[in-house]
Amino acid sequence: MSVVRHSRLLILGSGPAGYTAAVYAARANRHPVLITGLEQGGQLMTTTDVDNWPGDVEHLQGPALMERMRLHAERFNTEIVFDHINRVELRHRPFHLFGDNGEYTCDALIIATGASAQYLGLPSEEVYRGKGVSACATCDGFFYKGGCRRRGRQYCRRGGALSD
């Protein structure tokens, strides 16, 4: 039987929102525990140039940004736990979370699990990911601001969170 670990504040997710929550909570002396999930660093780990990040004018890469965010959270003593939560009980306090590597309870929970890109499943998507195939109109729309044709090439857009 595993030991249940209790935290005053638990943060689920290790993308930008999770690390930002950890920095703010740690600076407020809340002693946060952040559980990374399966994809530590979130979607930015598969992003090349992050040119819409304020303050970085020289070709910032997604993985480098996430490393900096992790180090920032750790600087203020955020405890980072490598686990994947697969079941939660939120009806009663303390909240109870069940992970692959342990069980957790907490008084407060921040869910910052982000999103996952939904691709069509075409073989060419994997080949051209990052080379014309994008899953983020907000991030990459800048490159396609000329309408449905850019540099003589056609492109198309398929749905999204707000268009389905």
DSSP 144: G
Residues 44 and 67: beta-carbon distance below 8 Å = no
Q: Catalytic: which of 49, 100, 136, 148?
A: 136
**100 classed as catalytic:** no
Cα separation of the two ends of the chain? 44
Spatial separation of the C-alpha atoms in residues 160 and 64, rounded to whole Å: 27
Report d(CA 138, CA 149) in Å as an integer.
Answer: 18
> Does the active-site annotation cover 136?
yes
Catalytic entry in 51, 140, 156, 164? 140
Residue in 107, 139, 148, 156 annotated catalytic: 139
Q: Which of 4, 39, 36, 33 is nearest to 108 (CA)?
A: 33
Active site residue 148: no
- Active site members: 136, 139-140
